Structure 1
């Protein structure tokens, strides 16, 4: 089975920030049954959940408070909390892909037919988000069709 990789970059602006990347991922899906979304950084993560301004602010507040403490790694980079949270949350998610059918109307007396297109199989309110934990930074996101 072959697989295809696609990459894009997100530039964050805050120390802890939630960025909706669903639409960017949706542009990159093609043949496959699922896609792996991966952020190749030790101080960022990927989540799937609802995205709206109030819950976005709640995520940022929650992640800011979750790992506070006196950590040994802070003597080196002052970002131990970001590493701990990234390990806890996960740098990747797998999202199922489903067929989206569209009807093509007859042209020049051709019969109707349907073609398959692909779309992310997310719940009604679900979005895919980058969780920046040590920003601002430029983050690379990889989308791999599987």
Structure 2
């Protein structure tokens, strides 16, 4: 069995945003030479997420509204974690959206469903953060 590790780096210029990273994950798979196995993609920061869903702007807007209702940024003073910080909501949003995804690798391709894409979700942006791609297989 072979393994491959790649770090992807992203800087989202706003506080929150979603980036489609499916091509980045597939490029990592291509570089690995692995044809059958599993591909793990995970956020390496506690205020960011990796998830799978549809690449549709209305859905992304709905996520933004929904997440803000569940864990609003303001008032910052409403969170105990925010003593000296202002990102408690980002930690909670990450918890909801998840840390990582695992995708089957079949014949050298990410074995995603018809509309499935891999996304990086940023909830406390404006600085460089990384995503780990770890692929194992043959």
TM-score of the pair, normalised by structure 1: 0.81
* Structural mapping, 1:1-146, within 5 Å: 1-29=1-29, 30-31=33-34, 32-68=36-72, 70-99=78-107, 118-146=108-136
* Cα pair 1:35 1:94 within 8 Å, conserved: yes
Query: For residue 106 of structure 1, what is the aligned residue in structure 2?
Result: none
Q: Secondary structure at the match of 2:51?
A: strand
Question: Aligned partners of 1:65 and 1:139: how far apart in 2?
Answer: 25
Question: Aligned partners of 1:88 and 1:59: how far apart in 2?
Answer: 11
Q: Secondary structure at the match of 1:124?
A: coil
Query: For residue 104 of structure 1, what is the aligned residue in structure 2?
Result: none
TM-score of the pair, normalised by structure 2: 0.85
Residue segments in structure 1 that go unaligned for 5+ positions in a row: 100-117
- What value does the CA root-mean-square deviation take over the aligned residues? 1.4
* Cα pair 1:16 1:63 within 8 Å, conserved: no
Q: Tell me the number of residue pairs that the alignment of Structure 1 and Structure 2 aligns.
A: 128
Structure 1 or 2, whichever has the larger Rg, is 1
Question: Aligned partners of 1:60 and 1:3: how far apart in 2?
Answer: 35
Counting helix residues as a fraction of each chain, which structure ranks higher?
2
* Cα pair 1:45 1:90 within 8 Å, conserved: yes
* Cα pair 1:18 1:60 within 8 Å, conserved: no
Question: Aligned partners of 1:61 and 1:49: how far apart in 2?
Answer: 16
